[in-house]
């Protein structure tokens, strides 16, 4: 198993396409599973917006760079390296709040919109890949609420909060059950389809 991050050797920085290309070359050919596990909700500069008046261009650009553009560039460089024959899976971590159909609470503009964009980019790549590599499966996955710095400030009492190991295990179990007919889909950590 190869794990890539900004601190790995080679590094993979979502804000640096050259590093993504170099990391993909390092990973080699014939990959059976690539999981792009990234997400940006907040940091010291940016907090999730509660109202439209809080929109900030720099925040939107940063969220899209990390949640949509960066993963799209990972697709660009890693999808050609998936195994050409037999089952191969490329998955991205999305979020239920990126579902347009499921948005009943509002708020979190940058995060919601950038994850919705990620879902569309993944779906579009899946349509293209299915034309020439029908055994490949490209999916967006919602991991649920995971005990990480991303969700810690927003985990409410009553939510099912999973450890990172538990969440990873659930997602891998979902991936194991997927078929090529489900390529381009959006699924949660229980394997249930999430509406776009």
- Domain architecture of the chain: domains with CATH: 31-188 (3.40.50.720)
Would you say the pTM of this structure is higher than 0.75? yes
Question: Which stretches of 103-179 are assigned E, i.e. beta strand?
Answer: 136-142, 145-146, 161-162
| 3-class DSSP state of 120 | helix
Give the pLDDT confidence of 83-122 residue by residue, as tens digits.
999 999 999 999 999 999 999 999 999 999 999 999 999 9
Residue with tokens 């979902």: 174
CA dist 184 and 124 (Å) reads: 8
Q: CB burial class (10 A; 0-12, 13-18, 19+) of residue 196? A: middle
Give the pLDDT confidence of 62-84 residue by residue, as tens digits.
999 999 999 999 999 999 999 99
């Amino acid at each position: 198993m190869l794990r890539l991050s900004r601190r790995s050797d080679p590094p993979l920085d979502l804000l640096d396409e050259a590093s993504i290309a170099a990391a993909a070359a390092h990973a080699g050919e014939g990959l059976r599973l690539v999981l792009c596990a990234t997400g940006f909700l907040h940091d010291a500069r940016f907090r999730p917006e509660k109202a439209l008046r809080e929109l900030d261009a720099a925040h939107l650009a940063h969220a899209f760079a990390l949640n949509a553009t960066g993963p799209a560039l990972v697709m660009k460089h890693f999808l050609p390296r998936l195994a050409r024959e037999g089952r191969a899976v490329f998955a991205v971590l999305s979020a239920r709040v990126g579902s347009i159909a499921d948005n009943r609470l509002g708020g979190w503009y940058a995060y919601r919109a950038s994850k919705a964009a990620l879902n569309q980019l993944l779906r579009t790549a899946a349509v293209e890949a299915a034309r020439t590599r029908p055994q490949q499966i490209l999916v967006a996955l919602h991991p649920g609420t995971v005990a990480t710095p991303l969700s810690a400030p927003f985990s409410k009492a009553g939510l099912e909060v999973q450890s990172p190991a538990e969440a990873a295990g659930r997602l891998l179990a979902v991936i194991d059950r997927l078929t090529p007919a489900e390529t381009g889909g959006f699924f949660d950590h229980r394997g249930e389809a999430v509406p776009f």
